[in-house]
A and B are shown apart, each in its own frame.
Chain A
Amino acid sequence: MDLASLTIAQIHEGLKNKNFSATELTEAFLSKIKERDGEIHAYLNVMEESAKKQAREVDKKIAAGEEIGILEGAPCAIKDNILIRGEKCTSGSKILEHYVAPYDAEVIKKLKEKGVVFLGKTNLDEFAMGSSTENSAFGPTRNPHDLKRVPGGSSGGSAAAVAANECAFALGSDTGGSIRQPASFCGVVGLKPTYGAVSRYGLMAMASSLDQIGPLAKNVEDCKMVFEAINGRDPKDSTSSDGNFRNSNPSQADEIRKLRIGLPKEYFAQGLDPKVEKLVKNAVQKLAAQGAKVEEISLPHTKYALPCYYIIMPSEVSANLARYDGIKYGYSAISDKRLAISDLMDVYLKSRQNGFGAEPRRRIMLGTYALSAGYYDAYYLKAQKVRTEIINDFKKAFEKVDVIITPTAPTPAFKIGEKVSDPLRMYLADIYTISVNLAGLPAISVPCGKSENLPVGLQIIGKHFSEDLIFEAASAIES
């Protein structure tokens, strides 16, 4: 039996029945990482010793006859923009290459309380800015299904680690599709929870009105278990809330029979790979065959989501990344022996010049421009008004349907290097996922088949705090 291929539920059963120990399990994942990560490069930092120590704690509990929780002993990977105290946290950036986290993110605190084993930190596009993980200052991650291709991004390391059995589950963050698009490219399940459903305390902020932490896992059940472990209000993140998660007691068959599914015509249009379209529609047919009602809907402002996002996101980026100034932490020009620094302004300019890569610089410049005197109304305010219209589109749609199904990405994984020199083309990789962040909705990407030998995912979008329902619909597609 390959222990590294087990789901969380199987791990729990195996540990409880003493088929294997938590230590053996963790060793199995660590050797999988040794065997495969040289070519995949999902991890930036493997925490071997602490992982083994955490596993031994779980084994002690089992040996003492204590009951263990569902996630206890399950080995996971964490995107390297989420803080684990005492470990380096780089966000894929040179500017934080040697930064050591002084505290635990709230999600880490919660997972520690559940007895999870942390295998390490995963690669990402610098500060989560990108759709391919090629923007990492520490080299790209490769797609386990085809090493010539990208795993998607920005949570590409987390998605690749799950797909390659280098962890049982992972956490990522999603600002415009950064959990769902890599989940689709790597053939795993990824959830972007409702805005505020999961605390972001200890997540490096990129665009605060859009960012959300969420799980990536091997199947829908695992994804749900991790989500349940990390959600809830946290006084340290004032945007977080308990949400009124609807507890779905009726059987799944009942849920699907009553389900009203909307297919937005704007998402099944030009630019969508016909093979992807076919796989998504086949999966929807499966739900229709179980009694779900499927209808075409319209989200008329869809074409404005990407331009709207490319004002709001960089504006917030330019504010959030102002904290990397060479003074408080991270790379500083002042300790760089090659440089002659004259004054404080010079420290700022040169620390940021040498510390940030091309994409953060591009977005900082764009956002600073959009927020600069005389341009605020024309750009940021205008975009926030268009955003209201995008939200209204969803509100209207959800009067008629319970969930909306779309492709997660217009194509399967593309080749490494294919889009890296053309920022605007790269941005189009997120065209189906961005509206969801603008509207703060929950959405899951779940595999719906393969095109050639590459995985394809579909996206299920629900109303605010309707995660339970989209999990139900996702498991019906999975089975």
Chain B
Amino acid sequence: MNINHIAKLARLGLGEDEKSKLESELSEILDFVEQLKEVETENIEPTAHATGMENVVRPDEARRTAEDERQEILGNAPQREDNFIKVKSVLQ
């Protein structure tokens, strides 16, 4: 496993010590899940929903959030400007 590649995909910063520790823990878990290969699954459908529910949809209508609720949501943002969440620039 390329731990740096996976950490980047996961957008997860890792310390150097942690990388080697994670590498050994994850390979132990992956060895453990290897047993799944013993199960013959060629003609088995993968599970999509445990109780067999299918395609639940609602009308495609926008719903308004109450103003006080909107402010509470925005209030949790680390940085904001007016009613926008502020984000560090993507391009330098």
Contact = CB atoms under 8 A, between A and B. Distances in A.
B22 A362 contact: yes
A327 B89 CA distance: 12
A216 B47 CA distance: 29
Given A196-B53, A327-B87, A310 B10 contact: no
Nearest to A318: B10
User: Interface range on chain A: under 10, 10 to 19, 20 to 34, or 35 or more?
Assistant: 35 or more
Contacts of B50: 195, 209, 391, 438-440
A389 B44 contact: yes
A102 B73 contact: yes
Contacts of A464: 51
Contacts of A195: 50-51
Given A334-B88, A349-B13, A350-B13, A379 B28 contact: no
Interface string A291-332: 000000000010110111011000000100010011111111
A328 B76 contact: yes
A364 B25 CA distance: 13
B79 interface: yes
A84 B28 CA distance: 39
A388 B53 CA distance: 14
Which of B22, B39, B57 has the most chain A CB atoms closer than 10 A to its own CB? B39
Contacts of A364: 10, 12
A209 B47 CA distance: 10
Interface in B28-67: 28-30, 32-39, 41, 44-51, 53, 56-58
Contacts of B41: 382, 385-386, 388-389
A388 B7 contact: no
A285 interface: no
Contacts of A352: 10-13
B59 to A, nearest CB: 10
Contact of A307 (B12, B32, B47): B32
B49 A209 contact: yes
Contact of A362 (B26, B45, B87, B88): B26
Contacts of B90: 343-344
Interface stretch (A29-37, A118-126, A235-243): A235-243
Interface in A436-459: 438-440
Interface in B1-18: 1, 3, 5-7, 9-15, 18
A5 interface: no
B78 A326 contact: yes
A398 to B, nearest CB: 13
Contacts of A381: 46
A384 interface: yes
A379 B33 contact: yes
A179 B89 CA distance: 43
Contact of A327 (B33, B34, B85): B85
A356 B7 CA distance: 13
Interface string A351-364: 01110100001101
Nearest to A101: B72
Contacts of B30: 366, 369
A243 B58 CA distance: 19
A387 B75 CA distance: 41
A252 interface: no
A146 to B, nearest CB: 29
B78 A332 contact: yes
Contacts of A306: 32
A348 B32 contact: no
A311 B47 contact: no
Given A102-B72, A238-B58, A385-B41, A310 B13 contact: no
19 contacts: A99-B76, A100-B75, A194-B51, A195-B51, A235-B58, A239-B56, A306-B32, A311-B33, A329-B73, A334-B88, A343-B90, A353-B12, A362-B26, A365-B7, A366-B29, A372-B6, A385-B44, A387-B47, A424-B32
Given A310-B29, A327-B85, 11 more contacts: A100-B75, A241-B51, A310-B32, A322-B11, A330-B76, A335-B79, A350-B13, A364-B12, A388-B47, A389-B39, A440-B50
Interface of A: 85-86, 99-100, 102-103, 194-196, 209, 235, 238-239, 241, 301, 303-304, 306-308, 310-311, 318, 322, 325-332, 334-335, 341, 343-350, 352-354, 356, 361-362, 364-366, 368-369, 372, 379, 381-389, 391, 423-424, 438-440, 464
The 5 closest A-B pairs by CB, nearest first: A440-B50, A353-B13, A384-B46, A332-B78, A329-B76
